[in-house]
Amino acid sequence: MPALRPFAAAVALALTVTGCGASVESTATDASQPVTLTNCGRTVTYDKAPERVVTNDVGITELMFALGLEDRMAGFAMPDDKGDLTGVPWKDGYDKVKWLSKDQLTKENVLDARADLVFAGWNYGFREDGGFTPEALDKLGIPSYILTESCRNGRTDSSRGIMPPLEALYTDLANLGVLFGVERRAAKLIADFRRQTAEVRAKIPAGAERPGVFLYDSGQDQPFTSGRFAAPDQIISEAGGVNVMHDVRDSWTTVGWESVVARDPDVIVICDYGDVSARRKRDFLLSYAPLRNVSAVKNRRVFVLDYVDLVESPRNPSAVARLGAYLRTVGR
């Protein structure tokens, strides 16, 4: 997905357990000792628990906040069109941590922040153009951690995703828990998130045919959407639907409108962010002639979720619950 997106109003469901400002736990992990993790299929050793982390994008930043690690952060980067921050689940974190850039991270602002870890992802800050890569940071003596949803999988130069999306979320929470010595908090979050999604899954009518769902991010000539490795795929599945692009072995990617028409989704989910409002996206979809015979368009079944709901973030379980409630109203 593009590196930086705005986020919208906060949601309370699935976030009550995450708390803010928690102190680092007293655990068996010694913060002064090296920690070895597996990240994107590679073994990485960190000399000690970082104390000046810099993050890129809202979902990544909120993973840190959900673990109570704002005191370990030197700053974050994301655009400034965020809407009203007073209602976000981790307002204290946003108030406490410095907003380094209203664009995206660069070597310069990372160095200025005296960062000892950059937590970003491919297309969520890390990029070949401009040379902002883990390898380039390593040459500057700055370690990095790559968002698991964004891990490159080697199928093409740019395809991403190595595991089911919610497993990517749990993997990152567990890894960060070990790295920062907050394993118990990470384990509680993971258990609560698994429980919340299981509760939604249990409400799926037994034996019912699942509605097909198309995730629309953006684009008029060609739609930008979610393959099987981006968060929407498993959000849709856990909510009781089927991502009609599940066979696309990538995360966020472009497809053709003809493939959307051929798969005839029952529901379209709009990713709400950016300069084009969800209302304008909806108007486009409902008036776009090639889609006129698609079931979702004929029945005007369009549901909106925020960007932060649909990238790897601690808000994913809430998105599952809200989409699940909507899909249960959809008859086949």
What is the mean pLDDT of each successive set of 10 residues along the chain, which is 332 residues long?
40 39 46 90 96 96 97 92 66 93 93 98 92 96 97 85 95 98 98 97 91 97 96 97 96 96 98 92 98 98 95 96 96 60
Domain ranges across the chain: 35-197, 204-327
Per-residue pLDDT at 332: 55
User: What global pTM score does this model have?
Assistant: 0.88
Q: Which amino acid is at 5?
A: R
The answer to whether residues 10 and 89 touch, using CB atoms and an 8 Å cutoff, is yes
Burial of 259 (0-12, 13-18, 19+ CB in 10 A): middle
User: How much is the pLDDT for 79?
Assistant: 80
Q: What confidence score (pLDDT) does residue 331 get?
A: 65
Question: What is the per-residue pLDDT across 142-158, written as a single tens digit (0 to 9) for each?
Answer: 999 999 999 998 877 78
* 318 close to 286: Cβ distance less than 8 angstroms: no
The pLDDT assigned to 81 comes to 59
Of 310, 330, 323, 315, the C-alpha closest to 226 is 310
CATH number for domain 35-197, candidates 3.30.479.10, 3.30.460.20, 3.40.50.1980, 3.40.50.300: 3.40.50.1980
Measured CA distances, 247 to 173, 189, 209 (Å): 27, 30, 18
With the CA atoms of 202, 204, 207 and 213 taken in that order, what torsion angle do they form, in degrees rounded to the nearest 10?
Answer: -140
Task: Return the residue matching tokens 């068996």.
Answer: 28
What per-residue confidence (pLDDT) applies to 23? 40
Quote the pLDDT of residue 95: 92
Output the pLDDT for position 175: 98
One fold for both 35-197 and 204-327?
yes
Q: What is the CATH number of domain 204-327?
A: 3.40.50.1980
Q: By the 8 A CB rule, do 160 and 252 touch?
A: yes
Q: Provide the pLDDT for residue 67.
A: 98
pLDDT in tens, 126-142: 999 889 999 999 999 99
Phi/psi of residue 86, nearest 5 degrees: -65, -25
